[in-house]
Amino acid sequence: MVKLPDDSDPTQSDDVMEAWEDSLKERYPKSPQEEAFNPTDPNKKQEAFRNYEENARPSVRAFYEQNHRHQTYEFVLDKKRQYLGFEKKTMGIWEAAEYLNQLVDDSDPDTNLSQLQHLLQTSEAIRREGRPRWMILTGFIHDLGKVLCLYGEPQWAVVGDTFPVGCAFSDRIVFPQFFDANPDSTNPELNSKLGVYEHGCGLDKVHLSWGHDEYIYHMAKPYLPMEGLYMLRYHSFYPWHREGQYDYLCDETDRSMLKWVLDFNQYDLYTKSHEPPDPVALKPFYEDLIGEFFPDKLKW
């Protein structure tokens, strides 16, 4: 098991990543499809959301405190400069999944899946429903950006709900009060509704808080269809896809792609089971699928 940077910091404990993902299911117990079929009263939904915040585990709360404090506009631009040149490693996709798999949570071996198993569980659920091959592959790679943890990034800069920086933070982002400690929230250039953006500019022009989504999006950009790229880039953008915020920054393409992000969300969040998929048995299928879309080696 990989030792994360600082054991004394509760946000660096090895179960925070798992805890964040569990917390998403507590906040969104219904899949987007179930919600659309049986719309929850928005007031009730907000109430459940705030109840969730009150009862959140200390490690999750501490995680968001750090995340909201440090994810500034400058920080995001810095991380993009640091990582989007892809000068860290050379690996194939399967190799990257095995590399990521060093990052395991051994605090609860009965219920926790490895990173590779989560990827396979997501992609296998997509495959079982006869969805397109590019979508199965998108499921398989969607969390590979978590290799950022193995490059030494703190977890608050790898996982967590993402949100735009460079403009006002929505109060529908989980734990909005923690943005008080973010210097951007008192910067008049960055704290207005539009901030550095133009109305309807499109999400492609908007910088989201830095994390694993943006990183894997840029890796996959030359190789997957637009629908898959939206799934990768925005899968943690809960304030947009589950809370309906930031529409004023979207263009028509974003609006037409939202259904794909929601479509993907059900597989990411609601397919976790205790039956771990078998990577050895599945590897030949995935090697084949990867080879259809990606080159043998990629720069990370």
Residue ranges that bind Fe ion, judged by CB under 5 A: 143, 268
Angle at 119 between CA 296 and CA 291, to 5 degrees: 20
In angstroms, what is the minimal distance from the CB of 119 to Fe ion? 7
Spatial contact of 88 and 238, defined as CB atoms under 8 Å apart: no
Minimum Å gap between C-beta 233 and Fe ion is 11
Q: Which is nearer to Fe ion, 120 or 249 (CB)?
A: 120
Residue 164 dihedral angles phi and psi, to the nearest 5°: -65, 145
Pick between residue 148 and residue 190 the one whose CB is nearest to Fe ion: 148
CB of 101 to Fe ion, least distance (A): 14
By the 10 Å C-beta count (0-12 exposed, 13-18 middle, 19+ buried), 249 is classed as buried
The Cβ of residue 18 has, within 10 Å, a number of other Cβ atoms equal to: 18
| Rg of the chain (C-alpha set) | 18
Q: How many beta carbons lie within 10 A of that of residue 72, not counting itself? A: 20
Closest CB to Fe ion among residues 142, 197: 142
143 vs 184, beta carbon nearer Fe ion: 143
Smallest distance, Å, CB 238 to Fe ion?
11
| Number of continuous H segments (helices) and E segments (strands) in the chain | 14, 2
- Residue 146 CA to residue 17 CA, distance in Å, equals 10
Q: Please state, in angstroms and rounded to a whole number, the distance separating the CA atoms of residues 230 and 142.
A: 11
Please provide the DSSP assignment of 74-90 as one string: HHHHHHHHHHTT--S-E
> Residue 213 Cβ, how far from Fe ion at the closest point, in Å?
6
Q: Please list, in sequence order, all residues whose beta carbon lies within 8 angstroms of the beta carbon of residue 82, skipping any fewer than 6 positions away.
A: none
State the nearest-atom distance from the C-beta of 298 to Fe ion, in Å: 19
Between 13 and 121, CB nearer to Fe ion: 121
Question: Which is closer to Fe ion, CB of 143 or CB of 243?
Answer: 143
Distance, in Å, from the CA atom of 176 to the CA atom of 153, rounded to the nearest integer, reads 23
Identity of the amino acid at 277: P
Per the DSSP assignment, residues forming a β-bridge with 298 are 91
Output 40 or 102, the one with its CB closest to Fe ion: 102
Q: How far is the CB of 192 from Fe ion (least distance, A)?
A: 30
